[in-house]
Amino acid sequence: MDWYVFLSGGFGLLLVLFTAGLPVFVAFLAMNILGLVLLTGDLSGVSLIVSSMYATSTSVSLAAIPMFILLGEILFRTGSVAILFDAVDALVGNFRARLFTVCVVLSTLFGALSGSAMAVTAMMGSSLLPEMVERRYDRRMSIGAIFAGASLAPIIPPSIMAIVLGMLAKVSIASLLVAGILPGLVLAAIFFVYLMVRARIAPELAPASPRVDAPAMERLATASRALPFLLIIATILGLILGGVATPTESAAMGVVAALAVTAAMGKLTLSGLREALGSTAWITAIILIIMACSVSFSQVLNMSGATSTLVRAVTELDWDRWMMFAILQVLPFVLCMFVDQIALMIMLVPIYLPIVGALAFDPVWFWLIFLINMSVGGITPPFGYTLFALKGVAPDVPVQEMYRAVIPFILIFAAAIVGFALMPEIVTYLPSLM
């Protein structure tokens, strides 16, 4: 069987299985077994899949995933995020569009604590969106701001997607995590400026706030209660950036810090801890089983010769490196409209990896931009998972309105990606300090 027939047929079958609603891990497992049968004529190669699944699921690098998930779950299940909400609300001054500012700042902080765009969206949609609507903020703009802020979670560490991507792409996970800090903050600043400019041009989008500020000392006292949570973020990033600990060890320290902070504040309860552990186990099991069943997909592609032949064909093309970069980044942007982000990463990274090496792209720079693309996929219609997270907590919001709300921010993301491509120092500066 020709390599291009095998490759296109495999991807086409995967897309059909995903669209049909089959679980991601089942789709990959079925594709792997079918591929081995086509290549070998029997099931003698199944042991390869079993060995690959065992090696993947027992990888030490993946131990950071349950740690970071548990960190976010502890903070959310114990209700500690309310302290951060009050602190940011106290610090933000009384001006037009102040809730847009609160939205961007909170999303950035919650993203740095949980690493989950869906968790941030659900929290902001259930707590902040009703207040914004009640104060006559434009609902569509408010929804867009929530989506944009939540999309920073996979970019700003800790990021579950960065860990998965780092393992698949054979890039330093610590470098990839740290590389997301500056781009994430730049994107947050761009969102803030965009929202402020829109509110100034069209004041009806954000009515003047009737809120009366508390005395300065009272506001500072409220804000100071959030300092321990910022210490958790500083501890994790400081240990990674300083090379003192691995991402897994830093995540474990973050969990210990979260337990200590929530216990000291009287927020930690047995029921909350039990819920956090249960949710962590469930989410981790889903991610690991997908990883275990899908990593062997790259081995099947290698056996077919599709990977090596594709790389040779691409490198022989007399195309500009920047054109190749654009093609490699546009493809996941489009596919993310239809395919789960992690599933898409696992599909594309084995194909991209040798091509990126052959084109001599800086791996941290290229894969961080790729990660931003994956993050945008979570809010890209029609099947972005983050869209459904908001729909779950705000069922009265029509899906069509969410689609329209998110389009300006997708365009901002696209422009920012071009900027990061032209100014790679924004991505590579902090990793270079490690």
**What average pLDDT score do residues 228-241 get?**
80
Burial class (CB in 10 A: 0-12, 13-18, 19+), 59: middle
Q: What angle do CA 274, 279, 284 make, to 5 degrees?
A: 130
| Cα 305 to chain centroid, rounded | 32
Task: Please write the tens of the pLDDT for every residue from 114-136.
Answer: 667 777 787 788 778 887 888 88
Residue 408 has a pLDDT of: 94
* CB burial of residue 99 (10 Å; 0-12, 13-18, 19+): buried
pLDDT mean across residues, the chain: 81
Closest CA to 123 of 93, 152, 103: 103
192 pLDDT higher than 80? yes
Instruction: Give the residue with greater pLDDT, 271 vs 291.
Output: 271
Whether the Cβ atoms of residue 405 and residue 147 lie closer than 8 Å to each other:
yes
Where residue 406 falls among pLDDT bands split at 50, 70, 90? very high
- Say what the pLDDT of residue 411 is: 94
Best mean pLDDT range from 84-98, 210-224, 249-263, 418-432: 418-432
CA distance 28 to 52: 13
60 CB neighbour count, 10 Å cutoff: 8
Count of residues for the chain? 434
The reported pTM is 0.76
Q: Residue 278: pLDDT above 70?
A: yes
Whether 18 shows a pLDDT value over 80: the answer reads: no
Confidence of residue 3 (pLDDT cuts 50, 70, 90): low
- With a cut of 90, say whether residue 428 has pLDDT above it: yes
* pLDDT(359) > 80: yes
pLDDT at 55: 72
Question: Which residue type is seen at 367?
Answer: W
For the chain, the maximum distance between any two Cα atoms, rounded to a whole number of angstroms, is 77
Q: Would you say residue 61 has pLDDT above 70? A: no
| Amino acid 383: pLDDT | 63
Distance of alpha carbon 367 from alpha carbon 370, whole angstroms: 5
Secondary structure in 3-state letters for 124-142: HHHHHHHHHHHCCCCHHHH
Residue 258 has pLDDT above 80, yes or no: yes
Q: Are 173 and 163 in contact (CB under 8 A)?
A: yes
d(CA 368, CA 61): 18
Q: Which of 237, 294, 241 is nearest to 14 (CA)?
A: 294
Domain that holds residue 188: 3-433
Percent of the chain residues past pLDDT 70, beyond the cut: 86
| Model confidence pLDDT, tens digit, residues 309-336 | 766 666 667 778 888 898 888 878 877 7
- Overall number of domains in the chain: 1
pLDDT, residue 372, reads 93
Report the amino acid identity of residue 292: A
Residue 212 has pLDDT above 60, yes or no: no
Least confident range of 157-166, 205-214, 279-288: 205-214
Please count the helices (runs of H) and the strands (runs of E) in the chain: 23, 0
Of 314, 367, 331, whose CA–CA distance to 170 is shortest?
367
Of all residues in the chain, what percent carry a pLDDT higher than 90?
18
